[in-house]
Amino acid sequence: MESYGRTSPLMALALAFVAVIWVSPFAWLVTTAIDPKTTGVLEIPRAIGIDNFVSALSGTAGLQFVNSVWLSVGTATLTVIVAGAAAYPLSRLNLPGRNLLLWGLVLLRLLPSAGIIVPLYFSALSLHVLNNVGVMLALTVLNLPFALLLLKNFFDSVPIELEEAAYVEGANVWQIVTQIVMPLSRSGVAVVWFFSFTSAWNEFLLPLIFARTDTAFPMSVGLFAAFGQHGAVDYGFLAAYSLVYAAPAVIVYFLLRRNLNTGFAGVGVKG
């Protein structure tokens, strides 16, 4: 029974052990963040307070939080709109060589993004977008191949008959797209939005090179700059900052979890 039946107590114990090991670095982060008097050693907090969180959300740190939100929501929304608008025609119209094109683009994206950073940098410089808007545009370009492929595969699984029926009933293109196609593709769009959001939220290398002042940094570069500084390390501040930085990615995942699971089934393992 062991490989597909009920779990034995020994197995449950082993799994519990794995779970404890997995969350223990995270536990350190939490106990350090809520303890204003922390020294960075793992221990029961000597005091509990929100001082660390206050300093992680005020001044420059707060500005960096706003930068990250603006950057990630902007990138994800732009990616979904641009990719969705192109993926739907790609799925519906019989364009020759479309699959070859899509896989070719995905192959192109295997290039480590660091490899095209120099051309990206010079282009952003000449277009005067050497800032978070530039990062947003660059990330959208980089996200596009995977977003197109995933959304096209997803639209392929939405039956066209519904659209044709609506057309016969006299609905126009805009009504069909907004009232039939979009509601049916919610989970595919959620997957792409989520992946674009987290990749932008995570992105480190592009803003490291594009953003020059600490008030323009998103949180990834802000955190790196803060713990890269030598001298006395303020573990309480860094831990609180880390939690603030990690929270949106975790929250967005759990909000979209149901959509994501169906979306995974639809687009995840399809060739």
Partner 1 sequence: MASQTSPWLRSARGPMFVAMLPAIVLIVALIYFTGWAVTYSFTNLELTGPNSLNWKWIGVDNYVRLFTRQGFLSSLWVTVIFTFFSAIVGQSVFGFVLAAAMRGLRGWGRTCVEVALMLGWLLPDIVAAFLWQATTTDIGFVNTLILQPLGFPPYDFLANYALVVVIVANIWKGTAWSYLLFSAALDSISREILEAAKVDGATGLQRTWLVTLPIIRPHIATNMLFITIWTFTYFALIYALTGGGPGSSTEVLSIFMYHQSFGVGKLGYGAAISIAMVLIVGVLSVFYLRQLKEPK
Residues 35-74 that bind partner 1 (CB under 8 A): 39-43
For position 99 contacting partner 1 by CB under 8 A, the verdict is no
Among 47, 118, 125, 182, binds partner 1 (CB under 8 A): 118
In contact, 196 and 80? CB cutoff 8 Å:
yes
Tell me the C-alpha distance between 124 and 209, whole Å. 11
Residue closer to partner 1 by CB (options 94, 213) is 94
Tell me the C-alpha distance between 239 and 114, whole Å. 28
Tell me the C-alpha distance between 24 and 40, whole Å. 14
Count residues binding partner 1 (CB under 8 A): 93
Stretch that binds partner 1, among 27-35, 44-52, 57-65, 184-192 (CB under 8 A): 27-35
Tell me the C-alpha distance between 79 and 147, whole Å. 7
Tell me the C-alpha distance between 9 and 261, whole Å. 29
Residue closer to partner 1 by CB (options 49, 204) is 204
Query: For the chain, what percentages of helix, strand and coil (3-state, to nearest 5) are there?
Result: 75, 0, 25
Stretch that binds partner 1, among 48-56, 58-66, 113-121, 184-192 (CB under 8 A): 113-121
Stretch that binds partner 1, among 44-52, 55-63, 89-97, 184-192 (CB under 8 A): 89-97
For position 140 contacting partner 1 by CB under 8 A, the verdict is yes
For position 26 contacting partner 1 by CB under 8 A, the verdict is yes
In contact, 168 and 107? CB cutoff 8 Å:
no
For position 2 contacting partner 1 by CB under 8 A, the verdict is yes
For position 94 contacting partner 1 by CB under 8 A, the verdict is yes
Residue closer to partner 1 by CB (options 193, 235) is 235
For position 249 contacting partner 1 by CB under 8 A, the verdict is yes
Locate the DSSP E strands across 100-234: none
Among 13, 37, 258, 264, binds partner 1 (CB under 8 A): 264
Tell me the C-alpha distance between 55 and 60, whole Å. 9
For position 115 contacting partner 1 by CB under 8 A, the verdict is yes
Cα dihedral 230, 232, 237, 242 sign: positive
Among 19, 50, 66, 182, binds partner 1 (CB under 8 A): 19
For position 100 contacting partner 1 by CB under 8 A, the verdict is no
End-to-end Cα separation, the chain, in angstroms: 33
